[in-house]
Structure 1
């Protein structure tokens, strides 16, 4: 088996310095579709350096996403084919609001390896802190197709109860044809999102959008429509990537809101509302 679960979990963490500036934040915001209309005061909060605030999901790419998913796949005990890799889910916990520029220490490790039968799931944890203390913790759940079945722990279930009633808000967002090409400039260079031939080898008709791009788009919808545009109210954000998204499609974002949390479901309008984000929850003040 190319994955040695015990060796992967026991491997020492990788630590390095990361840094980012307002240009990186602006590029990320543009990559998730901010800035339309370009002169809208609400959008200028994402695009103009003089009034810039930072959407918390920027944490997934800060410092080019270091140590990053692809880097994590080279950890001891792991040897896999990149074409079999899918991002299965993401959990982000905010310890403080993100600054528009900063330097921090990023520590990454394999926190767990689960056996899902037909796939293995790696939980890749990244903890980031600066001189003032912890900033955020990211857990990426990475599916490795064809690598399960060794009789290991299946891991916890992240399924949420279906929300009751009609959503409080519904937002539709149409993606650019070049959305994945723009988003990947923030640091995720997996050719699955740009190279048609690689996408076909991986089993897709054409390059697909990064799951973390959809993740950012959905969080922006919650912040803009339900949290008064205040990014500092977000405390944590978890999702399961339930299906693919193709650039150029329209996303339908349904939101069920309470004072403490907003549950989200995201689907692809163009494909009969096929689910793309599920079990998705934003906890906030």
Structure 2
């Protein structure tokens, strides 16, 4: 069997150094579409080094690492990368991410679930610096054709939105070149840049990175619900429900509750086709 669950769970965690500075943070924010209008004080928090704060989803690209793909190289896991999908992502903040820093990231497999026709591998990465823990990041990796081994099915991550109209609805355009800019933060998958590769994968043109949509949605919550204060975010989780193309528009609906905001993210041009689902930001 390509996945040896016991061996994967027992494997020694991998450690790697992470180093980032203000230019990495600014590039990441620009890749999410920040900076429009360029002189807006709210946007300068994402683009101007003297006013800079760090969106917590930066944890997914800090150090320009690919923790998700690196985690698939652990002993006990031998899968066809063509069968791999990024199913979900959660980042839990232990304190605000500094504008520049050096940290150590420890990564390993925390769970393997049997979904019948597929397996779900949960890769956990924890980052700490000299002052202690910074964040914990969980990536849920969906591997088609690797289920049916008799393992636990795992918890349901479903998060139903309230049965009322959302408190906020915003639309965020995706620039034509946005995937080309976002990939400079570390995800070089040609699916997001090369039209020929995208066609081989079954798409008529390159698609936007799921983690770019993830960051765009968090920025919308911070700007709309949290008064622009990134330090209020405690955790942020989502399930990747569909694709979106550069040039389209994300429609982000937000239901504000005590201590959390639930949201849905869809493509406005494709009859609200789902992009992110079961999405929750926990905050103060």
TM > 0.5 between the two? yes
1:197–1:79 Cα change, 3 Å: farther
Instruction: Work out whether residues 252 and 265 of structure 2, in 8 Å CA contact, stay in contact via their aligned partners in 1.
Output: yes
Question: How far off its partner does 1:205 sit?
Answer: 2.8
Question: Where does 1:174-253 land on structure 2 (aligned, <5 Å)?
Answer: 174-253=173-252
Question: Is the counterpart of residue 22 in structure 1 residue 22 in structure 2?
Answer: yes
Distance 1:264 1:271 in 2: 18
Q: Which residue of 1 aligns with 2:162?
A: 163
TM normalised by structure 2 equals 0.97
Question: How far off its partner does 1:144 sit?
Answer: 1.3
Question: Where does 1:116-195 land on structure 2 (aligned, <5 Å)?
Answer: 116-195=115-194
1:88–1:226 Cα change, 3 Å: same
TM normalised by structure 1 equals 0.96
Aligned-partner SS, 2:62: coil
Instruction: Work out whether residues 161 and 255 of structure 2, in 8 Å CA contact, stay in contact via their aligned partners in 1.
Output: no
Distance 2:277 2:177 in 1: 24
| Structure 2, unaligned runs of 5 or more | none
Aligned-partner SS, 2:63: coil
CA deviation vs aligned residue, 1:191-250 (integer Å, no higher than 9, x gap):
222233333333333222111100100000010011110000000101111111111111
Instruction: Work out whether residues 59 and 136 of structure 1, in 8 Å CA contact, stay in contact via their aligned partners in 2.
Output: yes
Question: How far off its partner does 1:121 sit?
Answer: 0.9
Instruction: Work out whether residues 161 and 262 of structure 2, in 8 Å CA contact, stay in contact via their aligned partners in 1.
Output: no
Question: How far off its partner does 1:22 sit?
Answer: 0.2
Distance 1:208 1:117 in 2: 28
Question: Is the counterpart of residue 104 in structure 1 residue 103 in structure 2?
Answer: yes
Aligned-partner SS, 2:172: strand
CA deviation vs aligned residue, 1:79-113 (integer Å, no higher than 9, x gap):
22222221100111000001000000100001111
Q: Which residue of 1 aligns with 2:274?
A: 275
Distance 1:206 1:2 in 2: 32
Question: How far off its partner does 1:34 sit?
Answer: 0.3
What number of residue pairs does the alignment pair up? 284
Distance 2:274 2:184 in 1: 26
4+ residue segments displaced more than 4 Å = none
Distance 1:7 1:210 in 2: 31
